[in-house]
Structure 1
Amino acid sequence: MAHNDKPINGQDNPSFLDLLNQMPPQPPAPELDSQHSTGRLAWLRAAWKASWQEGGFLHQRWEEVFQARHGSWHEAATWIKTTLLLGGLSLIVLMLDAAGDVVSAVLKSLSDTPAYGVGNGSGLWATVDQPIRVFLADQAAHLAVAPAALYAFWQLTGLLGLVGGFFGNAGARIAWLLFGIGSLAMIWSAAPAGGRAAATGLAALMWALASIFALRGLTLRPIVHNHPPQFQPHFNPALHLHATLPAPTPAADDLGPDNVHPLQR
């Protein structure tokens, strides 16, 4: 099948014009006018069947999709990669837009929560939460920020530290530790003098229970990997001596050197 585009990376780059080239010839206009829409529907039906036959445009695209399921990313057709990348980018944009709306709604709901209220609520959580509200309200009086904003930021930090620490993020776990230490310091500073120790101890127990999830899998033991080295050189001390001995010389006779010969007749 001829393509209008040049091959890219050794792969055919299909064009929608190939589908138009493979369509059967359209019946003449008078015939269409006489048969109204019947002739046009028959032509479209014939074009659809022709494109799904072996060698047709849609048939080859389906074969490329089937081969991409069992091959690698580099072996996939160019139009498949482009479609997947555009679809992934569109999904990421939608997710970011939805996440932005969710975060905005959460921050708005947290900022609408009153940061200070004397005598509001009772129970264990009020014992821990009320001193923090009082401390933040007193500090906000000397800062250019509303008490509700400080309280919302404190809640958001704890939520992110808890969720991020559960998934093993190191930065979130550090934020969770600082969140707990800061909360204990605020409770100790703003709690009533008579129940200061009890409120701080209760907050420490609640923070420790929540740390079971925030610090999941964290251990203080050093991890030792006892893997034998892949290359172990062998050293065998041995002394090799190479001595060259001279060849023995023949013994000389008593008559003199060997080059003296007897007189011949």
Structure 2
Amino acid sequence: MQSRDNTPGQNHQEPTYLPVPFPKAPPKEPRFAALRAWWETAWEEDGILHNMWQDVLSAPDAGLRHMALWLRAVLMVAGVSFAVLMARAAGEVVLQALHQLLTAVPKVQVGVDTSSGVAAVVDQPVRTYIAQHSAGLPVDGSTVYTLWLLTGIVGLVLGYVTRNNGVRAMWTAWGTATEQHPRSACPFRD
């Protein structure tokens, strides 16, 4: 067996399968050099970022009417977005409160005489009617009764506060629809 040592006196031949060295590539410019160059020119005296920063700094003195249009647009979009988010949150709170009101744990007993005096004249026939006609509905009779009460209260309060004839007409229609039909049985009629 022949030794592969590099000792003088032996006839040693270089293997032909070694890779050929490639010339080195010229050095690349830094990765973010173009971005850094743009950044520096944008912050120069008449650069875009310098001018925008000057618009922001002069906005409190200029007021809303004379500030830069782009800054006014940004403020308006931010304000409208905030108003939409607040309206959505308020709507969720109102809907959750209405859901709790309509699905309250102590259910209103529909069809049972729980009122007395003058309130019973209107209340008891409505409870009886709702008890008789809410059997096939997807909501409970107590929910229908609560909605009936809520409609009357809202119509009365809004009609008084807003002095709007449409809301007053709604409350009048609510009262008229509540009035008992003459042929139906009323415990207070002879």
- TM norm structure 2: 0.57
Task: Report the alpha carbon displacement of residue 153 of structure 1 after superposing the two structures with TM.
Answer: 2.8
Partner of 1:126: 120
**Contact preservation (8 Å) 2:115, 2:123:** no
**Contact preservation (8 Å) 2:59, 2:67:** no
> Following the alignment from structure 1 to structure 2, what is the Cα–Cα distance between the partners of residues 91 and 98?
11
**Contact preservation (8 Å) 1:132, 1:186:** no
* 2:159 is equivalent to residue 114 of structure 1: no
Task: Report the alpha carbon displacement of residue 169 of structure 1 after superposing the two structures with TM.
Answer: 4.8
Partner of 1:160: 154
Cα deviations by residue, 1:163-214 (Å, 9 ceiling, x for unpaired):
443324555333212211011225983421xx338xxxxxxxxxxxxxxxxx
Matched to 2:152, the amino acid is G
* Aligned pairs, number: 142
- CA spacing shift, 1:172–1:73, aligned 2, 3 Å: farther
Matched to 1:133, the amino acid is R
- TM norm structure 1: 0.43
> Following the alignment from structure 1 to structure 2, what is the Cα–Cα distance between the partners of residues 196 and 81?
64
Task: Report the alpha carbon displacement of residue 125 of structure 1 after superposing the two structures with TM.
Answer: 1.9
Residue identity over aligned pairs, in percent, reads 20
- CA spacing shift, 1:188–1:104, aligned 2, 3 Å: farther
> Following the alignment from structure 1 to structure 2, what is the Cα–Cα distance between the partners of residues 189 and 72?
71
Partner of 2:77: 82
* 2:96 is equivalent to residue 101 of structure 1: yes
Task: Report the alpha carbon displacement of residue 133 of structure 1 after superposing the two structures with TM.
Answer: 0.8
> Following the alignment from structure 1 to structure 2, what is the Cα–Cα distance between the partners of residues 85 and 178?
38
* 2:134 is equivalent to residue 140 of structure 1: yes
Matched to 1:127, the amino acid is V
Partner-residue secondary structure (3-state), 2:96: helix
Cα deviations by residue, 1:26-79 (Å, 9 ceiling, x for unpaired):
xxxxxxxxxxxxxxxxxxxxxxxxxxxxx5xxxx5253144335x389967232
Partner-residue secondary structure (3-state), 2:184: helix
* 2:189 is equivalent to residue 196 of structure 1: yes
Cα deviations by residue, 1:223-246 (Å, 9 ceiling, x for unpaired):
xxxxxxxxxxxxxxxxxxxxxxxx
Partner of 2:48: 3
Superposed CA RMSD in Å reads: 3.6
- CA spacing shift, 1:96–1:144, aligned 2, 3 Å: closer
**Contact preservation (8 Å) 1:131, 1:186:** no
**Contact preservation (8 Å) 1:131, 1:191:** yes
> Following the alignment from structure 2 to structure 1, what is the Cα–Cα distance between the partners of residues 110 and 79?
48
> Following the alignment from structure 1 to structure 2, what is the Cα–Cα distance between the partners of residues 175 and 85?
33
> Following the alignment from structure 1 to structure 2, what is the Cα–Cα distance between the partners of residues 155 and 102?
16
**Contact preservation (8 Å) 1:110, 1:152:** no
Structure 1 gap ranges (5+): 6-11, 19-54, 198-265
Judge which range, 89-98 or 123-132, deviates more.
123-132
Partner-residue secondary structure (3-state), 2:179: helix
> Following the alignment from structure 2 to structure 1, what is the Cα–Cα distance between the partners of residues 152 and 105?
13
Larger Rg: 1
- CA spacing shift, 1:102–1:191, aligned 2, 3 Å: same
